[in-house]
């Protein structure tokens, strides 16, 4: 059976229908047996479709031949008599010499006209297939690790960013990578990150600073200790061993512990630090500016910023006040009366189910003081069942918390599909056969 590394290098060619018959059979057999490669293929297909749609308006859709011919200078037709023609035939050198004086001028005119026409109709520059970002700043010794071959190369400004790329910095060095969707990632010295796609990265060590623009998709950061869900913001992440520190400069992020059911929402000026063995996430007010001061020294040139704006125009402005409009839905649970919340019930209109590519939802339940009660997940397949209009998510947390009222947050997970269920109602259950509104 082919290795996952080999299959990873064939996925884009498969999507572009450039594989031979034997390679295609090998890839399809591998994908049918390997869930990880199947998810990666699905993700790249979606990325290719998104790129195709995003830059469809820049594709050349008309023939320029007629336009170019219409702008060529007209040449007068000379009326020659037989006597002149005979003379030129007998003296070819003189005629050729006279013509040589006019050829450079005519060629120059033609080039100017062609340049003007092509410039007028040339589409905006677009990234190469599979590329979703660029290296915008390099200082000192920084490297890129190829995900397929493991080859290590030095980074250069303007180099493309592709799925699975790893970047690492050494002493007294820094790096900035910009991704489609107005996301800028700054790396401090002695740091290493992996970029999975335009909206997902992993911080393996060191510290980074992110400025994440608001688009129609959430941005996620993974570390050894937990996951960070970003709702359009500026914040820093520091990873030392199995310890993670998150400091929010602007906006809102949600932090989840990888090994426990704890989670917390951080706002401007808040910091949380936790490690693999900690079971609680407790945000605190802190000096965020001092933790992210190093990032101010990484400044791309004006020309590079202008190029990024042209090449990746799908940019939004971070706006924490509007985060829930783009990234999640929030529901208010009334009359819990300080009883233990056994479960929550999601319901929807059955006649709304029309497609099979509904997204799933990550579910977070809070007390009235915004303390976490429990979290869970609803797969997109639940909404695709035409015979179902209700789903109960049980509270399987060992933490016993009661509350007068509660909050439920549904965050879309586009790994299942791109379509959201339009109308979802959320209720809470606090005991047998007792459902609270």
Tokens 């319901």 -> residue: 347
| Structure tokens that stand for 317 in this block | 């402005």
Average pLDDT for 109-134: 64
Judge contact between 417 and 357, C-beta under 8 A: yes
Separation of alpha carbons 282 and 397, rounded Å:
18
Instruction: Give me the chain's average pLDDT, please.
Output: 78
Distance of alpha carbon 13 from alpha carbon 207, whole angstroms: 35
Collapsed DSSP state (helix, strand, coil) of residue 370: coil
Check the CA dihedral 213-218-223-226 and report its sign. positive
Contact 95, 103 (CB under 8 A): no
CA proximity to 407, closest of 320, 342, 315, 344: 344
pLDDT tens by residue, 145-201? 988 788 888 999 988 898 899 999 999 999 999 988 778 999 999 999 999 888 889
Nearest one of 360, 358, 348, 365 to 429, comparing CA atoms: 365
pLDDT at 313: 64
Angle at the Cα of 118 (from 113 to 124), degrees rounded to 5?
A: 150
Q: What pLDDT does residue 434 have?
A: 44
Q: pLDDT tens-digit profile of 187-219?
A: 999 999 999 888 889 999 999 999 987 666 778
Give Cβ neighbours of residue 414 (< 8 Å, ≥ 6 apart).
217, 359
Task: Show the beta-strand stretches assigned E in 140-199.
Answer: 142-145, 152-154, 160-161, 165-169, 174-179, 183-187, 192-197
- For 304-331, what is each residue's pLDDT tens digit? 888 877 776 654 434 443 444 457 788 8
Nearest to 267 by CA among 287, 247, 243: 247
SS3 at position 205: strand
Q: For the residues of 320-341, what is the DSSP string, one character each?
A: GGGHHHHH-EEEEE---TTEE-
Kindly state the average pLDDT of the residues 4-12.
Answer: 80
If one compares 270 and 81, the residue with the highest pLDDT of the two is 270
Residue 95 has pLDDT above 90, yes or no: no
For the cut 60, the answer to whether the pLDDT of residue 356 exceeds it is yes
DSSP output for 245-288: EEEEEESEEEEEESSSS-EEEEETTEEEEEETT------EE--H
Domains of the chain: 4-54 (no CATH), 65-121 (no CATH), 133-311 (2.60.120.1440), 328-436 (2.60.40)
More confident residue, 124 or 15: 15
Mean pLDDT over 369-386 rounds to 83
SS3 136: strand
For residues 142 and 165, is the Cβ–Cβ distance under 8 A?
Answer: no
Residue 231 and residue 321: Cα distance in Å, rounded?
10
Report the SS3 class of residue 197.
strand
**Band of pLDDT at residue 411, cut at 50, 70 and 90:** confident
Extract long-range pairs of 273-282: CB within 8 Å, 24+ residues apart: 273/243, 273/244, 273/245, 273/246, 274/225, 274/226, 274/243, 274/244, 275/225, 275/241, 275/242, 275/243, 275/244, 276/224, 276/225, 276/242, 277/242, 278/225, 281/226, 281/255, 281/256, 281/257, 281/372
């Amino acid at each position: 059976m082919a290795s996952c590394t080999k299959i990873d290098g064939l996925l884009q060619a498969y999507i572009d229908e450039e594989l031979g018959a034997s390679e295609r059979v090998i890839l399809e057999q591998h994908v049918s047996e390997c869930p990880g490669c199947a998810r990666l293929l699905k993700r790249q297909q979606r990325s290719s479709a998104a790129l195709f749609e995003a830059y469809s308006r820049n594709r050349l859709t008309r023939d320029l031949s007629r336009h170019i011919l219409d702008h060529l200078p007209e040449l007068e037709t000379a009326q020659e008599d037989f006597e002149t023609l005979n003379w030129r035939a007998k003296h070819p050198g003189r005629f050729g010499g006279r013509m040589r004086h006019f050829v450079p001028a005519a060629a120059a005119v033609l080039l100017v006209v062609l340049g003007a026409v092509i410039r007028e109709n040339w589409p905006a520059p677009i990234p190469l297939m599979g590329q979703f970002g660029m290296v915008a700043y390099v200082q000192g010794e920084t490297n890129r690790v190829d995900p397929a071959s493991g080859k290590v190369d030095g980074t250069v400004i303007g180099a493309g960013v592709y799925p699975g790329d790893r970047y690492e910095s050494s002493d007294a060095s820094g790096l900035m990578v910009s991704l489609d969707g107005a996301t800028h990632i700054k790396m401090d010295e002695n740091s290493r990150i992996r970029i999975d796609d335009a909206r997902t990265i992993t911080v393996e060590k060191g510290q980074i600073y992110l400025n994440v623009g608001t688009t129609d998709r959430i941005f996620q950061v993974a570390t050894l200790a937990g996951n960070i869900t970003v709702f359009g913001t500026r914040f820093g992440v520091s990873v030392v061993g199995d310890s993670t520190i998150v400091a929010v400069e602007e906006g809102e992020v949600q932090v989840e512990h990888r090994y426990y059911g704890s989670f917390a929402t951080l706002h401007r000026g808040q910091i949380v630090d936790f490690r693999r063995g900690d079971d609680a996430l407790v945000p605190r007010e802190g000096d965020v500016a001092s933790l992210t001061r190093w990032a101010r020294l990484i400044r791309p040139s004006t020309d590079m910023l202008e190029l990024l704006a042209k090449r990746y125009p799908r940019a939004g402005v971070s706006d924490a006040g509007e985060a829930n409009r783009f990234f999640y839905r929030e529901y208010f649970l009334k009359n819990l009366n300080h009883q233990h919340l056994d479960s929550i019930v999601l319901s929807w209109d059955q006649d709304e189910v029309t497609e099979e590519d509904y997204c799933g939802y990550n579910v977070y339940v809070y007390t009235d003081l915004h303390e976490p009660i429990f979290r869970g997940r609803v797969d997109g397949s639940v909404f695709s069942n035409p015979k179902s209009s209700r789903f109960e998510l049980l509270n399987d947390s060992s933490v016993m918390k009661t509350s007068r009222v509660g909050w439920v947050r549904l965050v879309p997970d586009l790994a299942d599909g791109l379509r959201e269920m339009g109308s979802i109602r959320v209720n809470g259950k606090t005991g047998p056969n007792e459902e609270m509104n």
